[in-house]
Amino acid sequence: MKLDDQKQTPLPCESCPVHHAGNLMKLGVDMTDWDFVVALAGNPNTGKSTVFNALTGLRQHTGNWPGKTVGRAEGGFDYDAHRYKIVDLPGTYSLLSTSYDEEIARDFILFGQPDVTVIVVDATRLERNLNLVLQVLQITDRAVVALNLMDEARRHHLEVDDHRLARDLGVPVVPMAARHGEGIDLLLKAISDVANGRTVCRPRRIQIESPAVQQAVTQLEAELHDRFPNLPNSRWVALRLLDGDVQIAEAIRSGELGNLNRAETVSQAAEVAQS
């Protein structure tokens, strides 16, 4: 699946994982027996847990209650000779506020650098769900959108153009009805394509309307880029700093954020290649 016709910048190593094993360990995820880590994000009540169960075969209870999964569930699956660990993040409306759930989800995507982040969205309430999608796409450029509850959308006579959405968002979009097992195979393939670098995402960036803010963001982003040339999401970090996010400022101060770059994984890959 190719998403754009632009020239693709080749990754340092097309098939090697990007996740940050050390940070994942700190977040409580052991990657010893796994090739890739997949994070599962999404608004509450979008069938995220159903998708999780469909992927892993686990029977986690999936309630019709906003905000059901508290904390984190983990599972795993094999696909195409690779072993994937999947982490179900708490359902949140946003990643910009400061609730505990949002912090868990945000920290995992930012510091854990999952190889793929699957964002489960409710096809019947796309506008609201895209809010979270856009926010996640500021942090990571390795994402797949699972357009869930297509059965409900059909029931309400809604037509959702997933190709168009994929083009607009710059990441693969998989229409599915996880309750009935529809679209799971496509989702698996999309995950594997992104994880292995066969699909390269060009995620949509948030447009900022106010010129004053725009200028502030650009300036700060440039400074961040100078300081940490390998930081994959300097623009998002700039936005967080301008929002007065103490945690992100702390992560910069402690150097934790500076460590988040591709360089490490490249050198790891080089080591693996040499041995």
* Of the candidate residues 24, 105, 165, 188, the single one contacting other proteins (CB under 8 A): 165
**Out of 1, 25, 206, 263, which residue is the one contacting other proteins (CB under 8 A)?**
206
Nearest distance from residue 7's CB to other proteins, in Å? 25
Decide if residue 164 touches other proteins (CB under 8 A): yes
Q: Which of 98, 181, 229, 263 binds other proteins (CB under 8 A)?
A: 98
Instruction: Show Cβ contacts of residue 3 under 8 Å, excluding neighbours closer than 6 positions.
Output: 166, 167, 170, 171, 172, 199, 200, 201, 202
Measured CA to CA, the distance from residue 70 to residue 206 in angstroms comes to: 28
- Residues in region 227-266 near other proteins by CB under 8 A: 227, 238-239, 241-244, 246, 249, 252-255, 258
Full DSSP string of 38-103: EEEEE-TTSSHHHHHHHHH-------SSSS---S-EEEEEEETTEEEEEEEPPP-S-SSS--HHHH
Question: Is residue 103 part of the contact set for other proteins (CB under 8 A)?
Answer: no
Q: How many residues bind other proteins (CB under 8 A)?
A: 72
According to CB under 8 A, which residues from 28 to 87 bind other proteins? 44-45, 59-68, 70
Considering beta carbons, is residue 16 or 51 the nearer one to other proteins? 51
Residue 158 or 270: the one with the smaller Cβ distance to other proteins is 158
215 binds other proteins (CB under 8 A): yes
Binding of other proteins by 209 (CB under 8 A): yes
Q: With respect to other proteins, which residue has the nearer C-beta, 37 or 217?
A: 217
Among 179, 198, 202, 262, binds other proteins (CB under 8 A): 179
**Window contacting other proteins (CB under 8 A); options: 14-22, 30-38, 128-136, 182-190:** 128-136
Q: How far is the CB of 47 from other proteins (least distance, A)?
A: 9
Crossing angle (nearest 10°) for helices 100-111 and 126-139: 50
CB of 93 to other proteins, least distance (A): 4
| Distance in angstroms (rounded) separating the CA atoms of residues 98 and 38 | 23
**Buried/exposed code over 22-33 (b: 16+ C-beta within 10 A; e: otherwise):** ebbeeeebebee
Cα separation, 167 vs 2, in Å, equals: 10
Q: How far is the CB of 197 from other proteins (least distance, A)?
A: 26
| In the complex, minimum distance from the CB of residue 230 to other proteins, in angstroms, rounded to a whole number | 15
DSSP conformation class of 202: -
Are 187 and 40 a contacting pair, CB within 8 Å?
Answer: no
In 3D, which of 133, 72, 76 has the Cα closest to residue 108? 72
Q: Which of 146, 167, 137 is nearest to 232 (CA)?
A: 137
Q: What are the b/e assignments for 163-173, b being 16+ CB within 10 Å?
A: eebbeebbbbb
Q: Which of 32, 207, 274, 275 binds other proteins (CB under 8 A)?
A: 207
Give the whole-angstrom CA distance, residue 38 versus residue 149. Answer: 21
Residue ranges in 180-199 that form contacts with other proteins under rule CB under 8 A:
none
Verify binding: residue 127, other proteins, rule CB under 8 A. Answer: yes
Helix (H, G, I), strand (E, B) or coil at 216: helix
Q: Which of 186, 220, 266, 269 binds other proteins (CB under 8 A)?
A: 220
